[in-house]
Amino acid sequence: MHSGGRNPTPETTRSAPAWRTVLDWLLFTAVLYMGSLLLLSAKEAADASAQQSIIKHEARALFRAFESYYERNRSYPNSYTEPRFDPATLDPLARRGYYKGNLLINLRDHRVDAYDSPDDQGPNREFWVEMSLEDDPAVRVVVANSDDAPLGAGRWLSGVFIFRDGALEPF
């Protein structure tokens, strides 16, 4: 029985030219490569966002620790005499139980860059802390209750701030 149509024969069946097959594979590989780059970029952005969220939480906990310390002692830790603030351990805040976090693991060299408790408002009535992030040292975090923080340019800062791209903004 013949249905009227022609059955393909070896002479009428054609395979794609070799160059077309190579071009198809190159195109497929390029699309796959671009897709994997997009996924990698999205993952890196998500990781950076998660890291910043952790740092924000820890910096806010540090600010609350300073405030609790002040409420109890009527002064902030001193910058030059005991109980002196230690940039490598966050003592006396950590040692006395005011701060129990692990902010230091996210900081460059695992320590605070700078701390001061200026006396222009009275002895240890204000403080500021500056920190550089381990993953991006160009980004700095400021925890302060002071008008003397170097990145604050004379403005009164109270809370947690981030300095990036030349601008200081609440964090």
Say if 5 falls within a structural domain. Answer: no
**Looking at the whole model, is its pTM more than 0.95?**
no
pLDDT confidence of residue 154: 92
84 in Cβ contact with 77 (< 8 Å): yes
Has residue 155 got a pLDDT over 80? yes
- Going from the C-alpha of 29 to that of each of 20, 113, 120, the distances in angstroms are 14, 47, 65
Say if 6 falls within a structural domain. Answer: no
Please tell me the distance from the alpha carbon of residue 77 to that of residue 81, in angstroms, as a whole number: 9
pLDDT confidence of residue 126: 96
| Chain segment 33-66, per-residue pLDDT in tens | 898 888 888 887 777 777 788 999 999 999 999 9
Q: Which domain holds residue 151?
A: 18-170
Per the prediction, the chain carries an average pLDDT of 88
Say if 4 falls within a structural domain. Answer: no
| Chain segment 64-111, per-residue pLDDT in tens | 999 999 999 999 999 888 889 999 999 999 999 999 999 999 999 999
Say if 66 falls within a structural domain. Answer: yes
Q: Which three-class secondary structure state does DSSP give residue 141?
A: strand
Say if 12 falls within a structural domain. Answer: no
Total structural domains within the chain = 1
